[in-house]
Chains A and B, each alone.
Chain A
Amino acid sequence: MHEMMVAENLLAAISDEAAKRDVKPIGAKISCGKLYVINDEALSFAFEAIAKGTPCEGLKLQIEHKPIQGRCKKCDETFIVDFSGPQCPKCGSEDFELLPDAPLLLEEIEF
C-alpha cells in the first residue's frame, strides 16, 4: 500500500496548484512507469480518504501507466518490455537492459 505515500504527495502538489488559482480542482491526470507498481484502485481510495475536508475532496484521478522500456544489448534496439517473455523484437535476443522507469508525474489538473 505504498499508494498512500503517493497520494499524500499528490494531494500536496494539487493543493499547491489549486491555491495559486483559488479554484476547486475536480480532476487530475497522472502518469507513471509500470515499475512503480501503482494500483489504480488503491491510489484512488487513499486519495479519497486523505482529501476529505480539503478543496480536493471528490476529485477524480486518472492514471496512465507508461510501458517499461528496454534496450537490446546485441543490436541496441529500444523496445517495450513485456514481462511475460521479454525479447528484442528486432533480433530476438533476450539480453537487454531496463531503461529508467517513466517518472511519477502529475500531468494535468482539471478545474
Chain B
Amino acid sequence: MQKVNVAKKILSANEEYAFKNILFLAEHKILCLNMISSPGSGKTTILTRTINELKDKIKIGVIEGDIQTDIDAEKIRATKAPAVQINTGGTCHLSAAQVNRALENLPVNELDLIFIENVGNLVCPSAFELGEAGKIVVLSVAEGDDKPAKYPAIFAKSKVLLINKIDLLSAGAQVDFDIKRVKTDARKLNKAVEIFPISAKTGEGLTSWYDWLIKSVEKNSV
C-alpha cells in the first residue's frame, strides 16, 4: 500500500471557464449577476418586470438555466430582451462552461447587464462560480422565514437579497413570515448584504432595487 500526495484542484475546469467569462465580460464592459433561489420564488417575473421598466436605461440580456423546457427564455423574449436557454438535462446547477457557450449566443456588444437565472435550487448553484460580478438570492415569503438560517451558504455569499411576494403579507394571506427575522439572520451571515423587500407582482419596493441596479451598472461592479 502506498499513499501519494496529489494536491490537485477538482473543479479547476469550472474555474478556468469562470475566469474566461470574467475576462470576456470585462472586455465587453458588461455587468453580470447570478440569480439564485428555490423554484417558484419569482425570479423570472422579477426579471421580466425589471427589463420592461428599465428598458430605456439599461440594455439587459438573460441566460436562463432550467432542467428542461424553454418556458422561461420565451417569457424573457416576450419583453424583446435577448435570452439564451440552457437545459441542464437533470443537473441541479449551471456550470461556467455552459455560461461560456451561452455568452457566445447573446448580442454582447449591445448589452450593459446580463442576468444568469440559475436552476431553481438554494444549495447546489452556490458552489459553482460562473464568472459573475455578484450573486442575487431571492426568497419569497411563502417559503418561510427560516431559510437564511437553514441554507446559510447562499445568503453568506450574495450581494443582494430580494424578499419577493411581500404583497402576500399585506393581503391578509395566512403567511407566517417575519421580515425582521430574515433581515437579522441574513445580516448575521453577511453584514454588507443589500436587502430589498419587493413584490414583482404589484411593483412595491422595486424602485430601490432598480436604483441599486442602475448604480451598479454605472460603476460596472457590485
Contacts and interface: CB of A to CB of B under 8 A. Distances in A.
A79 interface: no
Contacts of A105: 7-10
Given A13-B8, A17-B6, A111-B1, A98 B124 contact: no
B10 A111 contact: no
Contacts, number: 94
B23 interface: no
A108 B4 contact: yes
A80 interface: no
Interface in A1-30: 1-2, 4-6, 9-10, 13, 17, 21, 23, 26, 30
Given A2-B93, A35-B126, A96-B191, A83 B156 contact: yes
Contacts of A53: none
Nearest to A96: B191
Interface SS of chain B: mixed
Contact of A1 (B9, B11, B92, B152): B92
B58 interface: no
B117 to A, nearest CB: 17
Contacts of A17: 4, 6, 8
Interface in B184-200: 188-192
Given A2-B91, A36-B127, A68-B156, 17 more contacts: A2-B123, A2-B124, A4-B91, A6-B11, A9-B11, A26-B1, A37-B126, A37-B153, A81-B156, A94-B191, A95-B191, A106-B9, A107-B6, A109-B3, A109-B6, A110-B2, A111-B2
Interface in A77-111: 81, 83, 85-86, 94-98, 103-111
Contacts of A4: 91
B10 A9 contact: yes
Contacts of B153: 34-35, 37
A108 B3 contact: yes
Interface in B90-128: 91-93, 95, 123-128
Nearest to A1: B92
Interface in B1-37: 1-11, 13
Interface size class of A (residues with CB under 8 A): 35 or more
Contacts of B7: 105-107
A37 B192 CA distance: 22
A104 B10 contact: yes
Contacts of A81: 156
A32 B153 CA distance: 14
Nearest to A95: B191
Interface string B72-93: 0000000000000000000111
Contacts of A21: 4
Nearest to A39: B123
Given A1-B92, A111-B1, A13 B6 contact: yes
B189 A106 contact: no
17 contacts: A5-B91, A9-B10, A9-B11, A17-B4, A35-B127, A36-B127, A37-B126, A37-B127, A38-B127, A68-B156, A85-B188, A94-B191, A98-B190, A104-B9, A105-B10, A109-B6, A111-B2
